[in-house]
Structure 1
Amino acid sequence: MKKTLIGLLTITMAALLLVGCSNKTASSDKSLNVGILQIVPHGSLDAARKGFKEQLNKEIKQNHKSIKVNYNYQNAQGDQSNLNSMAQQLTQKKSDLILGIATPSAQALAKKTKTTPIVVTAVTNLESAGLVKNDKKPGTNVTGTKDLGPVDKQVKLLTTMTKNDKPIGVLYNSSEENSVLQIKMVKKYAKNHNLKLNIVSVTSTNDVASALSGLAGKVSGIYIPTDNLMASSMKTVGKKAREAKLPVVTGSIEMAEDGGTATYGINYHDLGKQTAKMAYKILIDKKKPQDMPVETSHTLRLYVNKANAKAIGVNPDQIQKP
């Protein structure tokens, strides 16, 4: 009888140990839910999203193999009503963190929640967009990376490729806050360097081709800032610019790849990776967005679209960093 009792006790203890081990393993496994809201699909924003996911997955895999990241990606396709409903959906699902790509996405998310951590990228100025109190100490549930490039150097780069004294054409969407800010910077640079400008605003992708046709023969080159509408229209820009033999300098590398001649600026894939490192600190290190300074791109580089340069009669090897 005693032996039987001892045997039963031994089996019971072993079972309890197994349950304890099983619970420990289960508790070490964790899922993180990350929402992503993007205003519109185009090269720059897509690159930022891909860079973000690649880097966050890499950081998690290297340091916390038991953690799985679940992504909920929403793209508004440029529709404001879609943007608002998607922002509502992502915040109601109680994501651990939400990524807002571009200013409209970031603003839509910030209006829906004051508690869920939000990191943003491809936003030109977080403070003027009402997302943070200031860049050094955001003071809200939002932080992230700015995509403001060196506008003055980009315009300077364009002037090295122009072949006459005609004004510089500037094409942008006046309804985008980020674009309006950059146009102010272009005007300031032009004033300080005695440059004439021919500025044209478009409100839809359907307007781009006619706007470019109107600039042909009247300008020496075209500058396009980091602008979501224009980024979605870069193939049209490239075609029209080649026909008119006009150099085009863009606000981002991806825009130059899609239809520009050259740029000196940021790479959105790299910017997305930089943003992911901030997200990791929030998700894993439990940092708070309100205490994390807004960051600018760590790298700038010259990019030349050699095929487009040759097509308009510019030697790509002679295009140098401004």
Structure 2
Amino acid sequence: MKRRVTAGLLTAAMMTMMLTGCAGSSGDKKESGKESYTIGIEQFAEHGSLDNCREGVLKGLESEGIVEGENLTIDYKNAAADMGTAGQISDSFVSDGVDMICAIATPAAQSAYNVAMDAEIPVIYTAVTDPVEAELADADGNAVGEVTGTSDKLPIKAQLEMIRNLLPNAKKIGIMYTTSEANSVSAIKEYKKLAGDYEFEIVEKGITATADIPLATDELLGEVDCITNLTDNTVVSSLATILEKAGEKKIPVFGSEIEQVKLGCLAAEGIDYISLGEQTGKMAAKVLKGEKKASEMKYEIITEPGFYVNTKVAENLGVEVPEELAKNAVESFHEISAE
């Protein structure tokens, strides 16, 4: 049974489409298994991990014989971390009658599905931390409609264990998050649940917009021994600001994936977002080819996190990376890259 998620509303463009019978209506629905496809890619914000997802999606599609410029047309739009813009993008894709919407990040996925569901355009998402919390899947992982994809659920237990190993005397971990992002709210709950097992206290700061980040960062840095990032799109988009302020106070910042470590986070137990995107692209290919409906596919996750460390940051902070951690790193970076 179809169910709208609570993060967005259908707009007037949807009603216009239904009344006028424009592209994307059931009468004009294109057959699966055709020779060429058009996909609308809706990315909620521009930062490294989401960009890597998009790259991975195209690789995954290509591995299944669906190649941009040959039998695939891509319409890419970025919402710049604005929900109103995300809604407009979703409307435009439905109005244009794309064969599929690929939504990158939770707010984009919620927006796309709310608008596309009545047009029966499948939505394949990636970088959605908790599809159940986002109301895109039920408690068993089943799709709530023609919507499925991949989760970038954080390996929070592994992250806490890693932070304890690197900072044996730390007591308080700061986390900044956007109160309207379901993925972040879900992650905060899990951090609080597990923190005590590692003798940590979680200090959280909720924000509503990018403009809140400088003050929230200053407040957080005055209360904690380190900061750990979520996959929060608004916060990650302003990571440079957070890193600069934390660096001045010699307070470590931990990332949630590889790109954040490149930019100056000390370390992360995270996932490879290109691999996550590839996994998503392969799922999308099955739907485009008519091999499966999105509603028949449970969402998928990458089960094994990897340890990433920036030895230059460790040196700057005077943090010693234990030999056992260092030798098991998937990748070590010895410089801080520019954003």
- TM bucket (normalised to shorter chain) is 0.7 to 0.9
Give deviations 1:144-184, integer Å, cap 9, x for gaps.
00010211211221122225354222222222111111111
User: How far is the alpha carbon of 1:299 from its aligned partner?
Assistant: 4.0
Matched positions, count: 293
After superposing the two structures, state which structure 1 stretch, 87-96 or 252-261, moved more.
252-261
Mapped pair 1:207 → 2:206? no
Identity between Structure 1 and Structure 2 (%): 34
Give deviations 1:25-79, integer Å, cap 9, x for gaps.
xxx9932111111111111111101111122123216xx9996100011111122
Tell me the amino acid that sits aligned with residue 252 of structure 1: E
Match of 2:336 in 1: none
Match of 1:222 in 2: 227
User: How far is the alpha carbon of 1:135 from its aligned partner?
Assistant: 4.7
Match of 1:300 in 2: 305
Mapped pair 1:68 → 2:71? yes
Q: 1:86 aligns with which of 85, 89, 93?
A: 89
Give deviations 1:128-148, integer Å, cap 9, x for gaps.
211223454324100100010
Partner SS, residue 77 of structure 2: strand
Kept after mapping to 1: 8 A contact 2:68/2:74: no
Match of 1:279 in 2: 284
Give deviations 1:188-229, integer Å, cap 9, x for gaps.
112344422322222333332333333335322111211101
Query: Matched residues in 1 for 2:142 and 2:215: separation?
Result: 44
Query: Matched residues in 2 for 1:241 and 1:190: separation?
Result: 22
Say if 1:81 and 1:171 are closer, same or farther in 2 by CA, change over 3 A. Answer: closer
Say if 1:82 and 1:303 are closer, same or farther in 2 by CA, change over 3 A. Answer: same
Mapped pair 1:99 → 2:102? yes
Mapped pair 1:164 → 2:175? no
Match of 1:25 in 2: none
Q: Which has the higher helix share?
A: 1
CA root-mean-square deviation: 2.4
Kept after mapping to 2: 8 A contact 1:241/1:248: yes
Match of 2:122 in 1: 117
Structure 1: unaligned runs, 5 residues or longer:
1-27
Q: TM-score, normalised by structure 1?
A: 0.83
User: How far is the alpha carbon of 1:126 from its aligned partner?
Assistant: 1.3
Say if 1:221 and 1:59 are closer, same or farther in 2 by CA, change over 3 A. Answer: same
Kept after mapping to 2: 8 A contact 1:32/1:67: no
Structure 2: unaligned runs, 5 residues or longer:
1-32, 330-339
Say if 1:194 and 1:29 are closer, same or farther in 2 by CA, change over 3 A. Answer: closer
Equivalences for residues 302-321 of structure 1 within 5 A: 302-316=307-321, 318=323, 320=325
Equivalences for residues 40-59 of structure 1 within 5 A: 40-59=45-64
